[in-house]
Amino acid sequence: MKKEVLLSANQPELGSALRKAASMTSADVAFEVRNAKLQGRGGAGFPAGVKWVLAGGASGAQKYVVCNADEGEPGTFKDRILIEKYADRLLEGMAIAGYAIGADTGLIYLRAEYPYLVPVIEEAASRLRQAGLLGRGIMGGKFSFDVEIRKGAGAYVCGEETALLESMEGRRGEPRNKPPYPVNSGFRGCPTIINNVETFIAVPHIILNGADWFLALGEGGDSGTKLFSISGDVERPGVYELAMGSKIGDLLDLAGAVDVQAVQVGGASGKTIPGSDRDRVLSFRDLPPGGSVIVFDGSRDMLGVLENFMEFFVHESCGQCTPCREGNSRLLDAVHAIRAGSLSGREALAPYLDLAETMKQGSKCGFGQTSSNCFVDIVNRFVLKADGQGGN
């Protein structure tokens, strides 16, 4: 169901949420976000408040708040729209996070292809500084917090939180081993929280209206609202805000999708479902909603779609670990063989479906753990189904 909060024309007065947060203890601010069950809006869905509580309790004189504005997932453009419209809310959300965990520095890792957003963020930051909402001694108190922008490196893997930290520290953007987790050892080895743009922008609303209000916005036990960038074969592409837990059919109707053959939810590494599955739920319970929804109508060649995504993964893998580096290439070879007619049928494809599972289990980071999803879904639901051998 459509429900506008983050995109609503009625935005609360700038600074009112930060003022309210500053009247609470730091721990209570983190607990409020935790109680709101705000799941990270960048794709993985980790509870933001849990991260904040852990970072707040971590030892270290210097802590950091990092905003992941890399937005490299194919088909995602919600963070760009949010920054264009609400850069000031993002900064307010980051300042509240800084207060909650005891950090005085915020860093925004901005997608390389969004240089025009630098002045937008800088202008918003200077407005907040003039209003006493950023800088030293915020609102005349002891809390200080300011932000810097770090330009992204132009690689998809740099959106992975530890590769992002490597990139910000001036090294190749390659994911780190975990543990240690960033809440204990993040930017320059200091306790760090990393959250998505949309996650931070939800925070001022939660602080002002309370955790229960946020919980009640969701459907079917989910919490809050979620932004979706919908593109592909739809009459009205764009960014829509729905209750978390809404049905995919509601979003398809809003965007004017007809003759839907397939929908990919959560980006190239998300889930690809048949258009008839209109009752599937946009939720971490069912279709993890990163932000990208791409619609393919009946005219699309789904094997071609898969080839395109596998080429993307082969190109973008950082190459550190074998399951991802070699596995994505093998799956692309399989797509070429299917296309050439030399690979067909469930039995012949079974080793490749096994390989996809090995990649999920054996890869070092979320990239290789999810890049085979579209192979599995498209082969099972579209390629084998066309042969009358489809599965789940």
Q: Which of residues 142-161 bind ligand FMN (CB under 6 A)?
A: 156-157, 159-161
Piece of 26-34, 64-72, 81-89, 99-107 that binds ligand FMN (CB under 6 A): 64-72
How big is the chain, counted in residues?
A: 392
The site partner of 44 among ligand FMN, ligand SF4, none (C-beta below 5 to 8 Å per kind) is ligand FMN
- Nearer of residues 12 and 362 to ligand SF4, judged by Cβ: 362
Count of chain residues binding ligand FMN (CB under 6 A): 24
Q: Which of 6, 15, 33, 42 binds ligand FMN (CB under 6 A)?
A: 42
* Burial (0-12, 13-18, 19+ Cβ within 10 Å), 204: buried
E strand or H helix that includes residue 237: none
Residue 316: which of 332, 293, 295, 300 has the closest Cα?
Answer: 332
- Residue 47 gets which letter from DSSP? B
CA dihedral 124, 128, 129, 134 (to 10 degrees): -110
- Nearer of residues 230 and 365 to ligand FMN, judged by Cβ: 365
43 binds ligand FMN per the rule CB under 6 A? yes
Q: How many whole angstroms separate alpha carbon 155 and alpha carbon 288?
A: 22
Q: How many whole angstroms separate alpha carbon 303 and alpha carbon 289?
A: 23
Helix (DSSP H) and strand (DSSP E) numbers for the chain: 15, 9
Q: Which of residues 159-198 bind ligand SF4 (CB under 6 A)?
A: 175
Piece of 138-146, 192-200, 238-246, 346-354 that binds ligand FMN (CB under 6 A): 192-200
Q: What is the CA radius of gyration of the chain?
A: 21
Piece of 200-208, 272-280, 344-352, 359-367 that binds ligand SF4 (CB under 6 A): 359-367
The site partner of 363 among ligand FMN, ligand SF4, none (C-beta below 5 to 8 Å per kind) is ligand SF4
- Nearer of residues 218 and 366 to ligand FMN, judged by Cβ: 366
* Per-position x/- string for 290-329, each x denoting binding to ligand SF4 as judged by CB under 6 A, each - no binding: ---------------------------xxxxx--xx----
E strand or H helix that includes residue 238: strand 238-243
Whether the Cβ atoms of residue 173 and residue 167 lie closer than 8 Å to each other: yes
106 binds ligand SF4 per the rule CB under 6 A? no
Tell me the closest approach of the beta carbon of residue 29 to ligand FMN, in angstroms. Answer: 16
- Residue 287 gets which letter from DSSP? B
List of residues contacting ligand SF4 (CB under 6 A): 157, 175, 317-321, 324-325, 363-365, 367-368
